[in-house]
Amino acid sequence: MSLKNHPGHPQHRRPMFQTNQSTCALFVGTWVRDDSYPLYPYSNCPIIDAEFNCQLYGRPDSDYLKYRWQPLNCVLPRFDGLVFLSKMRGKNVMFVGDSLGRNQWESLICMISASTPKMQTQIIRGDPLSTFRFLEYGLSISFYRAPYLVDIDVVQGTRILKLEGIDENGNAWRMADVLVFNTGHWWTHKGSLQGWDLIESGGKYYKDMDRLVAMEKGLRTWSNWVDTYVDRTRTRVFFQSISPTHYDPSEWGTGAAATVTKNCYGETAPMTGTTYPGTYPDQMRVVDEVIREMHVPTYLLDITMLSELRKDGHPSIYSGDLSPTQRANPDRTADCSHWCLPGLPDTWNQLFYTVLFY
C-alpha cells in the first residue's frame, strides 16, 4: 500500500490511498453510522479542555459520536494507539497553530491513551508550548500556540503582527520529527477578538489591511521557513486545511428550518451526501496555492469538506467555558467553531495516522 498525490489542478489534487490497485480519495466520502464509535469515552481521557468536553458539560444527545468517515472507495484502517507508539518511538510530534490545532492535539492524546490506559505519562502545560509524553516509548506530542504561525512582538504594550517574521516561533519547531501546522480563523477576527494592534509588512506599519492578503504574506513567510529549515530526510510536514464554522444555518437549511436556528445549536446529525452546499473558504485557495509552490513536501490534510458536513459536532452551549447565563442565550454564545471531544478531530487524526503509516 502506498500514498501518492494525484497531479493536476489544485481543486482536484487529492491525496490517494492505494489498496488492491484501486486509488482511494481519502477526503471524499460520506459519514456512516457506526455503533463501535466513539474511539474512547470522555471520562477516560486526562487532557480534554473544558471548552471541548461536551458530554461532561451536559450535552444531552450522543448520536453525533456514532459516525465514521467512509471514503468513497476504500475503508480507512482503524486507529491503533500501540501501532502509533511503536512506529513513533523516540520521536517528537508537534501541532502548531490555533485552538483547532489544540483540539486535534488533545484528540490524538486521547486516542493513544485509550490503547494504553496504564502507561506512565507526563504533561507539561505552558504558553506557547505544551507537551504530553508517553514515557515508556519516549514519544512527545506537543502543541505550540501560534495562531498566525508568524511572530507577534509586543512593543510598549502594542502587539505587532510581523508578516515577515517567524524566527521566534520557528526556533521551537526545529527539533520536531513530524510537524502539523494550521492557521485560518484568527486572520479574520476583528474588534475585541483581534490578536494584534498593528501589522508590520515590508518595513511599514499598518492599522489594517485586506485580511486574505495578510494571510497569504504570512503563509509565504511560513513556507519559506519550512523550505529553508526543515530537513526532509528527517521531518515530515503536514498542513491541516481550514476547519469550517457553522454560524449560518442558511448554508445547510432551507425554508423554515433555516429561520428557526441561528447557528449550530440544536444540530444533532451530520449533513447527508458528499458535498457541502455552503461556500468553500477563500482561505483555502490561498493555502492550496502556497503549498503547491513549496519545495519541501508538505501534505495537505484536506479536512475542510468532510468537516463542513458535521454541523452537529460543535460544543454549541455545552462548553465548560460558558456561564449558566451565557448558556441560556445560545443565539449569542454557542461555540460553532471548535469541536467536541470525543468527536470530529478523532477522524482528522485517523486520516493523519493513515497518511503517516500507510
Task: Look at the chain and report how many structural domains it folds into.
Answer: 1
- Say if residue 41 is preceded by a cis peptide, omega within 30 of 0: no
Predicted local distance difference test score (pLDDT) of residue 1: 34
- Tens digits of per-residue pLDDT, 226-270? 999 999 999 999 999 999 999 999 888 755 454 567 899 999 999
Predicted local distance difference test score (pLDDT) of residue 251: 85
CB 148 within 8 A of CB 186: yes
The answer as to whether 51 is a domain residue is yes
* pTM: predicted TM-score of the whole model, two decimal places: 0.92
Count of other CB atoms within 10 angstroms of residue 51: 20
Which cell is 79 given?
A: 486507529
Predicted local distance difference test score (pLDDT) of residue 7: 34
- Tens digits of per-residue pLDDT, 177-227? 999 999 999 999 999 999 999 999 999 999 999 999 999 999 999 999 999
Predicted local distance difference test score (pLDDT) of residue 139: 98
Which cell is 293 given?
A: 509552490
The answer as to whether 264 is a domain residue is yes
Predicted local distance difference test score (pLDDT) of residue 257: 52
Taking the mean position of all CA atoms in its chain, how far away is CA 128? 17
The answer as to whether 172 is a domain residue is yes
Structural element, H or E, at residue 211: helix 211-229
Predicted local distance difference test score (pLDDT) of residue 46: 83
| Residue that has been written with the C-alpha cell 471548552 in this structure | 51
The answer as to whether 313 is a domain residue is yes
Please identify every residue annotated as catalytic: 99, 335, 338
The answer as to whether 292 is a domain residue is yes
Q: What is the DSSP string of 245-275?
A: ----GGGT--THHHHH-SSSTT--SPPPSSS
The answer as to whether 22 is a domain residue is no
The whole domain housing 160 covers 29-249+260-357
Predicted local distance difference test score (pLDDT) of residue 6: 34
Low-confidence ranges of the chain (pLDDT < 50): 1-22, 256, 258
The answer as to whether 19 is a domain residue is no
Q: Which residues contact 1 (CB under 8 A, 6 or more apart)?
A: 17, 18, 19, 358
Predicted local distance difference test score (pLDDT) of residue 284: 93
